[in-house]
Amino acid sequence: MNTKRKTILSIFGTRPEAIKMAPLVKALAAEPGIRSVVCVTGQHRSMLQQVLDLFDITPHHDLAVMSENQSLNGLIARLITSIDDVVTKEQPDRVLVHGDTTTATAGALAAFHRQVPVAHVEAGLRTGDMSSPWPEEMNRRFVDVVSDLMFVPTPRSHANLVKETLHGRAFVTGNTVIDALHSVTKRIDSQDALRRKLDARFAFLDPSKKLILVTGHRRESFGRGLRDICAALVRIAKRTDVQIVYPVHLNPNVRATVISALGGAPNVFLVEPQDYLGFVRLLQRATLVLTDSGGVQEEAPALGKPVLVMREVTERPEAIDAGTAVLVGTDSDAIAATVHLLLDDTSARAAFSRNVNPYGDGRASARIVAALAGRPFEEFKPVTPGGTKDSARVSREAFA
Ligand code: UD1
Ligand code: UDP
């Protein structure tokens, strides 16, 4: 019998990858037939460290590549050479990358060049528009091309892959973000002292007002898109029944626009990026969520929170089809009108606040580990039926 353990090298470097890889890294470490090696690239620094601390992950390799306001080409050049050193040293049987970041592309390419098989977690997401999200749509397509195993979150993402000529095998696992969300909500819900501590960070909030939680950081929105989002927030904040909390991403291009447009605006609280516990607690307390984030689009529906997606297209249409998210774009009028509608029409808000879980059931990591270990497993089947692309357009038009 061959008892040699397989070495799996997991590579990630940004906040969302770390949140989504954390449950998987834990599950890999507990698998007897696998030697799990973790390499963080440090594409993000403090926003990555917040997640590593929370999930108690000590990486075997930390490449510390981040530089201030990094360019994509400078970043990928640093990533390729430093990941190559790790791949050469560890001689893994397989490399695992996540999602659509520059780290994912560099990890996949560095492994491919060394003829190491690549598995892609969160494969198959597509907008069909190479300019949005940019550069992520290219990154995720590229990683799927080189992967021989693709772990796709939903049947819809699986259908995207079926249309392409790819050499890998795909499994529908659910999104590991729901595994992470479950573990954190369990902690918050079961520990009164922790909940009080998290709420104390936001002692300035008036509990009689409705909380609107905002995030926005996409590169394709830099400039006009982000300015229009901020203009909408200024209008919404004129209402006396709301308070807006916006944890501002550390990208200097985001901070310059957001701080100049919203710093000092009444009812708008700009705060530093929250650790995952603090952010999930804000999600739990929110009445509405406004975001262009991929991960937040997946988490909010699982907590029964209506989401306005401030993008022109989304690769995560499942919540829109389920009727709990609406694609509003970055137009100020559309954002403000949709927020007013959802705040003033309680039945519309109730319809959008249904707790749905199109993205996962909390068992994605277990399925991925089973696939890597060669054990059979049942693929993820969402309870919410999938819809068509047209229904995404209809709900946007209905609210714009
Ligand atoms: C990256 C990903 C994006 C993902 C986002 C999640 C790419 C091309 N983009 O975008 O897909 O949605 O992360 O947040 O991979 N910074 C800090 N400290 C940090 C993190 C960032 O100071 O902890 C600043 C640095 O100046 C850095 C800049 O933000 O140069 C941009 O970081 P980068 O990872 O290149 O791009 P993001 O916009 O964060
Ligand atoms: N998040 C967080 N703190 C914050 C804002 C977001 O922990 O202040 C979490 C959020 O819950 C989600 C992830 O970060 O899991 C999303 O990351 P981001 O929006 O940076 O990237 P994207 O998902 O758009 O790639």
Average pLDDT of span 129-156: 97
Using an 8 Å Cβ cutoff, are 307 and 232 in contact?
no
Residue pLDDT, tens place only, 309-328: 999 999 999 999 999 999 99
Identical fold at 6-175+360-399 and 193-352?
yes
In CATH, the number for domain 193-352 is 3.40.50.2000
Domain regions of the chain by residue span: 6-175+360-399, 193-352
- Evaluate if residue 389 carries a pLDDT over 90: no
* Ligand 1 atom at shortest distance from the alpha carbon of 70: 30
274 CA to middle of ligand 1, Å? 15
Residue pLDDT, tens place only, 195-246: 999 999 999 999 999 999 999 999 999 999 999 999 999 999 999 999 999 9
pTM for the whole structure? 0.96
Note the pLDDT of residue 2: 55
* Ligand 1 atom at shortest distance from the alpha carbon of 16: 6
Average pLDDT of span 180-188: 98
Using an 8 Å Cβ cutoff, are 7 and 93 in contact?
yes
159 CA to middle of ligand 2, Å? 26
DSSP 268-324: EEEEPPPPHHHHHHHHHH-SEEEE--HHHHHHHHHTT--EEE-SS--S-THHHHTTS
Give the chain's mean pLDDT.
94
d(CA 298, CA 62): 28
Sequence-ordered strand ranges (E) for the chain: 6-12, 34-40, 61-62, 94-98, 118-121, 149-152, 169-172, 210-215, 242-247, 268-271, 288-291, 307-309, 325-327
Using an 8 Å Cβ cutoff, are 80 and 101 in contact?
no
CATH topology assigned to domain 6-175+360-399: Rossmann fold (3.40.50)
With cut-offs at 50, 70 and 90, classify the pLDDT of residue 394: very low
205 CA to middle of ligand 1, Å? 28
Indicate the range of 136-145, 306-315, 389-398 predicted with least confidence: 389-398
Catalytic residues: 100, 122, 136, 217, 219, 249
DSSP 177-214: HHHHHHHHHHHHHH-HHHHHHHHHTTTTS-TTSEEEEE
